[in-house]
């Protein structure tokens, strides 16, 4: 079955409903049972291009955990990694909070457009990165 496609007006991105009907679309809405789980096995996929996308970065509030156990405040940076190696749960919790509090949007703040229109590191962040 072909996925249902809709365009999200706010960001002009397409959403793909796969494996079941889109909520409110053909076949009715996807209802939840008492546990809050969807009664349908369908899901929504939205492709976001974070490259050179200041709007994505300004609205991103995610922290990633790498396969090596580092907290990463930005998808596009590797100079903000925080190791969770031998930390206690309380130390991990505090490091997570610090990572969230110190997260800087990559495009539009950490990277800015230079006079030539190309992206370059904002002078404010050169030499001020904690590792």
Residue tagged 């909520």 (tokens): 23
pLDDT bin (cut points 50, 70, 90) of residue 45 is confident
Task: With 0.85 as the threshold, say if the pTM is over it.
Answer: no
Predicted confidence (pLDDT) per residue in 59-113, tens digit: 887 788 888 989 998 888 888 899 988 899 999 989 989 988 888 888 888 889 9
pLDDT of residue 100: 85
Q: What percent of the chain has pLDDT over 90?
A: 11
Question: In the chain, where are the structural domains located?
Answer: 1-47, 54-125
Q: What is the pLDDT of residue 35?
A: 41
- Alpha carbon distance 93, 40 (integer Å): 35
User: When comparing pLDDT for 42 and 54, which is higher?
Assistant: 54
Q: List the beta strands (DSSP E) in the chain.
A: 4-8, 13-18, 43-46, 64-65, 70-72, 82-83, 111-113, 119-121
Between CA 57 and CA 104 the distance in angstroms is 8
């Amino acid at each position: 079955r072909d996925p249902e496609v809709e365009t999200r007006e706010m960001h002009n991105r397409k959403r793909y409903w796969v494996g079941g009907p889109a909520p409110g679309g053909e076949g009715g809405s996807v209802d939840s049972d008492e546990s809050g789980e969807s009664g349908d096995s369908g899901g929504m996929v939205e492709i976001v291009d974070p490259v050179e996308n200041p709007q994505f970065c300004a609205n991103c509030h995610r922290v990633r955990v790498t396969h090596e156990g580092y907290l990463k405040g930005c998808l596009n940076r590797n100079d903000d990694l925080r190791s969770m190696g031998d930390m206690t749960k309380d130390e991990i919790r505090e490091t997570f909070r610090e990572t969230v509090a110190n997260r800087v949007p990559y495009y539009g703040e950490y990277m800015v457009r230079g006079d030539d229109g190309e992206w370059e590191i904002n002078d404010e962040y050169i030499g001020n990165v904690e590792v």
